Structure formats: C-alpha cells, structure tokens
Structure 1
Amino acid sequence: MKTLNIATACFVNENRELLVVRKQGTVTWMLPGGKLDDQETPAEALVREVWEELQIKLAVKDLTALGTFVAAAANEANTCVHAHAFIAQMPGNQQPVISAEIAQMQWLPLHEPLPETAASLLRHHIIPALSSL
C-alpha cells in the first residue's frame, strides 16, 4: 500500500466549528493541507498548502502540533496518509478564499455529527483529538 506524507490544518473558530474543504472532482470533506515536498518540514508544507488552497498567510509560529495519524487516503485507492495535524490560528482579520483546486469550504460544528462524506482521518482521528482538548 502506498503512503502519502501530508500536513493538515485544524482551524477552529470561536463557535467551535472546524474549517473543512472539498477538492474539485471529489465528494470527500477533509482538512486543508497537502503533501510534503522534498526537504520540507510538515509545518513548512502546511504554510505553503494553506496559502495555495485558501490564501491564508500563516507562519510556522501560528501552528501547534495536534498529533501524527495514519488513515486511509480520502481520494486515492490503496493509499494511506501519514498525517501531521496542526491546530492553526487564523491570523488577524484574514478570511479564507478558495483556490481553483478547492470546490467548496464550510465550517462544521464540532458538537454535531459529521457528514457521511467526511474523510477517515477527520472522522477517526482529528475529531476525537480535538474533542479531548
């Protein structure tokens, strides 16, 4: 089985809602983020990916490690992700603006059931980890 090394951002707002995205051509809701490039740390990759996907300018100092998790990849068959998850602080008054690769974004209340199309990583690892904070 193939493994992808990724970094993901958990943006939780004051209403305890989590920002999730759905990429073009997919039905699965997932966290913003993506694959690490060669020689990138997970935090550096996440800063780059969040800018590319949501036009949010993060700094590494805006990130707090939540954990490292392994789960089935959302959109690639016979693949798992080794995910470095971070809690990310939305800087200043920045608002997310989706890029061409993102079809949709939404804020999911942490206290409500997830949509059936939520990624395995989100359902089995991220939500339980955030709930324990």
Structure 2
Amino acid sequence: MLPGGKPDRGENAAQTAVREVCEELSVHLEPSALRPLGVFRAAAANEPGFEVESTVFEHPSVTVSQPAAEIEELRWQSLDEPYPTDLAPLLAEHVLPILSGNRPRP
C-alpha cells in the first residue's frame, strides 16, 4: 500500500502527496521533484467492495527509517522479483507494472 489520503481544502494532488508522505512516513519530499505517474482506479485494499482513485507520483529516492502515523510496516519491493500476494491492488495492478516496464505509462 502507498501512503495517501484525501486532499485538504485548497490542496492539489501534488501538495496532498507531499503532506501525506510527511504525515505517514516522516519524510519531506521536494515538491518540484514529483513526476506524475498517472491516475488509477483499483479495488480498495482495506475496504472490500469499494474502489479507490489515486493520483500517483514518482520522486527520487529518499531515506525512510520507520513508519509513522497509519503505516504498520515498511517493505521494499524489487521490480525484478515476483510480487507478494498481499500487495494492494493499486500497486500490483498499476504502479509496479508501470515502474518495471511491463505496462506502458498512461
């Protein structure tokens, strides 16, 4: 699952991404370094019967030492290895296939 959440009043998608990553991972992203990956719809990972629509961005690597609010664990996923079966649908169906080059970018 990726960090994320709903925008606060007046926020655009990039501002929301920066805020949510800071809140959930205690990491400060450089807004100008964000690159849109796409807007995707997928089954919600923790809410059966619901879908999420998510605007996903890429950002150069940053150090993440431990999870903060709302994040239970951190995991790094190699793009060259099989994906675990417990990944959120957004990651498994959209984000990782695009990043690994197995699916075209939108």
Unaligned runs of 5+ in 2: none
* Residue of structure 1 equivalent to 2:59: 88
Residue aligning to 1:46: 17
Cα distance change of structure 1 residues 108 and 35 upon mapping to structure 2, 3 Å threshold: same
Instruction: Report how many residues are paired.
Output: 102
**Secondary structure of the corresponding residue to residue 71 of structure 1:** strand
Higher percent of residues as strand: 1
Partner of 1:114: 83
Aligned mate of 2:4, from 10, 29, 33: 33
Q: Which runs of 5+ in 1 are unaligned?
A: 1-29
Q: Is the 8 A contact 1:110 1:127 kept in 2?
A: yes
Gap change, CA 1:118 and 1:95, over 3 Å in 2? closer
Corresponding residue for 1:127? 96
Aligned to 1:27: none
TM-score (norm 2): 0.85
Is residue 99 of structure 1 aligned with residue 68 of structure 2? Answer: yes
Structure number with higher relative contact order (C-alpha < 8 Å, ≥ 6 residues apart) = 1
Runs of 4+ in 1 over 4 A off after TM superposition: none
For 2:10 and 2:53, locate their aligned partners in 1 and report how far apart those are by CA, in whole Å: 16
Alignment partner for residue 56 of structure 1, among 24, 27, 33? Answer: 27
What is the TM-score of this pair, normalised by structure 1? 0.69
Q: Tell me, in whole angstroms, the C-alpha distance in 1 between the residues paired with 2:61 and 2:27.
A: 8
Whose helix proportion is higher, 1 or 2?
2
